[in-house]
Amino acid sequence: MFVSRRRWILKTCGKTTPLRCLRAVLQLAQDTAGHSRVENVFYSRREFARPAAQLKPHDNFDSEVELLDSFFGDGRAYIMGPEKDCWYLYTLLPLEGTVDALEKEQQDVSGEILESDQTIEILMSDLDPAVMNIFSRANSATAADATRASGIDKLIPGMVIDDYLFDPCGYSMNGVAKDGCYMTIHITPEPQCSYVSFESNVSAARYDELLARVLAAFRPDKFIVTVFATPDSEGAGAGRQLKRFGALGEYTQTDAQHCRFSGYELHYALYCKFPS
Ligand SMILES: C[S@@+](CC[C@H](N)C(=O)[O-])C[C@H]1O[C@@H](n2cnc3c(N)ncnc32)[C@H](O)[C@@H]1O
């Protein structure tokens, strides 16, 4: 979890029910920081491996949207990518109007120019068992050992890292840098359902080097990458650049989508390893 002056980022896993704490979170924001208005909401997740195993409202996206709408009224829901590897998003930004109108709207929101902002997420599955073995108590004495052995400490330099190694296996880390950049990685190493999520707001004109470092560290068979960026941010160029990555090293792009929201651009791409 990351809390800053204007933003609350909550990342969960397994059967956690994050939307059930919405009322409490909104109340806390009001009580502790005096925030009574929500400017925007981004609720996103990839398709669950076993949706029926989830607790309500997370057992289907429609129920999640219904609950979010009961709080925020005019949200918009999107599903990107093919059925089994799809990625869901709920946000308050309307996808409407012409591109010119959207540009103008971006400048006109309360007379302010929106803050430059970008987020990259890399959601990896079917990972190399040799790498996944690092994230168990049997092979790493401490979380810091696992962080170093996997090269997580080198992915984005300058991060202060808070890491945790679960027993018998599993790993989570949150990192923050002095400039406000964050990185968060969560690892499920069990071979039958191996999964790693990476997320950061690091500003970059190109994401290919970061992507290459993350892929070299975890060696997934398949991954989804999403880039969310304001059009003026460095990340916007990096997101558009994804369109040109038809192939990335040993991976081939099997799906890609691009959305233009008011104030944000979103790129989704799915990559799979070439058959060996
Ligand atoms: C990366 S963790 C989940 C991290 C979660 N987002 C968090 O920060 O609490 C998931 C992995 O940890 C393992 N694990 C072990 N004990 C756990 C626990 N008490 N809670 C959650 N995951 C646990 C799971 O088997 C799985 O491999």
Query: Is residue 188 within 6 Å of ligand 1 at its C-beta?
Result: yes
What pLDDT shows up at residue 123?
A: 97
Question: Can the peptide bond before residue 94 be classed as cis, meaning omega within 30 degrees of 0?
Answer: no
What is the residue type of 255? D
What is the mean pLDDT, run by run of 10 residues, along the chain of 276 residues? Answer: 92 95 95 92 94 96 96 90 94 59 51 73 98 98 98 96 98 95 97 97 88 96 94 75 76 91 87 81
Helix, strand, or coil (residue 187)? strand
The CATH number of 1-92 is 3.60.90.10
CA of 196 to the centre of ligand 1 (A): 11
Alpha carbon nearest to ligand 1 atom 19, residue = 166
Count Cβ atoms below 10 Å from residue 96 Cβ, excluding itself: 11
Distances from the Cα of 77 to the Cαs of 67, 89, 151, 247, in angstroms?
A: 12, 6, 36, 29
Cβ-based burial of 137 (10 A; exposed 0-12, middle 13-18, buried ≥19): middle
What pLDDT shows up at residue 114?
A: 59
pTM of the predicted model as reported, rounded to 2 decimal places:
0.91
Alpha carbon nearest to ligand 1 atom 11, residue = 170
CB of 174 closer than 8 Å to CB of 155: no
Farthest-apart Cα atoms in the chain, separation: 57
What pLDDT shows up at residue 104?
A: 52
CA of 16 to the centre of ligand 1 (A): 11
CATH 2.40.110.10 given to domain 114-276? no
CA of 4 to the centre of ligand 1 (A): 24
Which residues are CB-contacts of 190 (< 8 A; sequence separation ≥ 6)?
A: 132, 169
What pLDDT shows up at residue 248?
A: 81
What pLDDT shows up at residue 242?
A: 73
Q: How far apart are CA 17 and CA 26, in angstroms?
A: 16
DSSP letter (8 states) at residue 96: -
Structure tokens at 207: 């994401």
Which residues are CB-contacts of 214 (< 8 A; sequence separation ≥ 6)?
A: 122, 124, 155, 198
Task: Kindly give the interhelix angle for 61-72 and 22-33, rounded to the nearest 10 degrees.
Answer: 30
Query: Is residue 136 within 6 Å of ligand 1 at its C-beta?
Result: no
Give the number of the atom of ligand 1 that is nearest the alpha carbon of residue 171: 1
Alpha carbon nearest to ligand 1 atom 16, residue = 166
**Owner of token pair 């233009």:** 260
Return the best residue to mutate from 2, 13, 152 for the ligand 1 pocket (most ligand atoms within 8 A of CB): 13
Task: Provide CATH 3.60.90.10 ranges for the chain.
Answer: 1-92, 114-276
Query: Is residue 169 within 6 Å of ligand 1 at its C-beta?
Result: yes
CA of 182 to the centre of ligand 1 (A): 20
β-pairing verdict for 87-91 and 76-80: antiparallel
Query: Is residue 16 within 6 Å of ligand 1 at its C-beta?
Result: no
**ipTM value of the model?**
0.92
Q: How far apart are CA 209 and CA 211, in angstroms?
A: 5
Query: Is residue 190 within 6 Å of ligand 1 at its C-beta?
Result: yes
